[in-house]
Amino acid sequence: MKAVRIQSYGDEPAVQDIAMPEPGEGEVLMQVQAAALNPLDVQLQAGYLADWFPLAFPFTLGTDFAGVVKRIGNRVTAFREGDAIIARPDPVRGGGFAEYASVPASACVPLPTPLTPDEGACIPTAGGTAWFALLESAKLKTGETVLIHAGAGGVGTFGVQFAKAAGARVLATASGDGVAFARELGADRVIDYRSEDFAALGEPVDVVLDLIGGDTQARSFGLLRPGGRLVSTVSPPDAEKAKAKGVSASMFALDLSGDRLAQLVNAVVNNGVRVVIDCKVPLAGFPDAWARQRSGHTRAKTVLLL
């Protein structure tokens, strides 16, 4: 079968022919139909996350994928052959950018009927970060105002929709065609970060979802109301600065263990959240998809078709 592999940190990912995996105890063998790219893949490949997610090489990339169960290992009772599923194994396991993947059954959930495999593959990392960061970490409530940085990106497109569904006023940053894109998804106001100063938006906010870090994060503190909450997915916020401003600020780390992936998929379906795919690429076109993801300037999700 074909798989996208690296031999070491920093190695350029390449499509290779490798042996089919076998489902171990508690695992299912999935025929992968679609896999979504995330900044996480780029960070794993570069070795930036080696302290948290040490990889064993050769490593098959891909943490978010969907497809059909082909075989089940011993002690798997939750799934049967032919079931359509979404998988999000531990990032150190990867395996999704391949025609077949062996995955712990505990890291899989059924693909709900209204969703296609392409859409299902996009949900775990991007959708999970948006949902748990906004609703669980920031505790966003109806009637509050939230600023979502990078509202046209992978996490942002889910975030804008989840925040609207929660009854919040949604402000977002984006640039170029991303401005109209974030508006179409329901953002009430979108600031073009390249031509306008978001820090001068003149509207206090209760919550900031920081998907950018650095100067963007630092300048977002000034927008928060007393008692407001900043949640960053990128870099730990300055605790002293938060204390001085009378706000809370925390670093988010995605946890999709236990039944949290199932909770997330239900949240997508029950809130009528649209899974937005900007680009679908066949396996042979992987280098293009990889270059797009690495640029940091994509819209919504890029999907690899297996």
Q: Taking CB under 6 A as the rule, does residue 103 contact ligand NAP?
A: no
Q: For residues 46 and 262, what is the distance between their CA atoms, to the nearest angstrom?
A: 30
Q: Taking CB under 6 A as the rule, does residue 153 contact ligand NAP?
A: yes
Q: Is omega for the bond preceding 204 within 30 degrees of 0, making it cis?
A: no
For residue 20, the 8-state DSSP code is P
Q: Which helix (H) or strand (E) holds 171?
A: strand 169-174
Q: Taking CB under 6 A as the rule, does residue 92 contact ligand NAP?
A: no
**Chain residues 255-294 in contact with ligand NAP, contact rule CB under 6 A:** none
**Chain residues 132-151 in contact with ligand NAP, contact rule CB under 6 A:** 149-150
Q: Taking CB under 6 A as the rule, does residue 220 contact ligand NAP?
A: no
Instruction: With beta carbons less than 8 A apart as the criterion, state whether 148 and 215 touch.
Output: no
Measured from the Cβ of residue 285, the count of other Cβ atoms closer than 10 Å reads: 14
Phi, psi of 42 (to 5 degrees): -65, -40
Region from 13-21, 78-86, 153-161, 275-283 binding ligand NAP, contact rule CB under 6 A: 153-161
Lay out the site mask for ligand NAP across 22-61 (x = CB under 6 A, - = otherwise). Answer: ----------------xx----------------------
Lay out the site mask for ligand NAP across 221-250 (x = CB under 6 A, - = otherwise). Answer: ------------xx----------------
Tell how many helices (H) and how many strands (E) occur in the chain: 9, 16
Q: Nearest residue to ligand NAP, using CB?
A: 153
Q: State the minimum distance, in angstroms, from the CB of residue 113 to ligand NAP.
A: 26
Q: For residues 69 and 100, what is the distance between their CA atoms, to the nearest angstrom?
A: 10
Q: For residues 63 and 290, what is the distance between their CA atoms, to the nearest angstrom?
A: 14
Instruction: With beta carbons less than 8 A apart as the criterion, state whether 303 and 157 touch.
Output: no
Q: Taking CB under 6 A as the rule, does residue 173 contact ligand NAP?
A: yes
Site residues, ligand NAP (CB under 6 A): 38-39, 125-126, 129, 149-150, 152-156, 173-176, 178, 193, 211-212, 216, 233-234, 252-254, 296-299
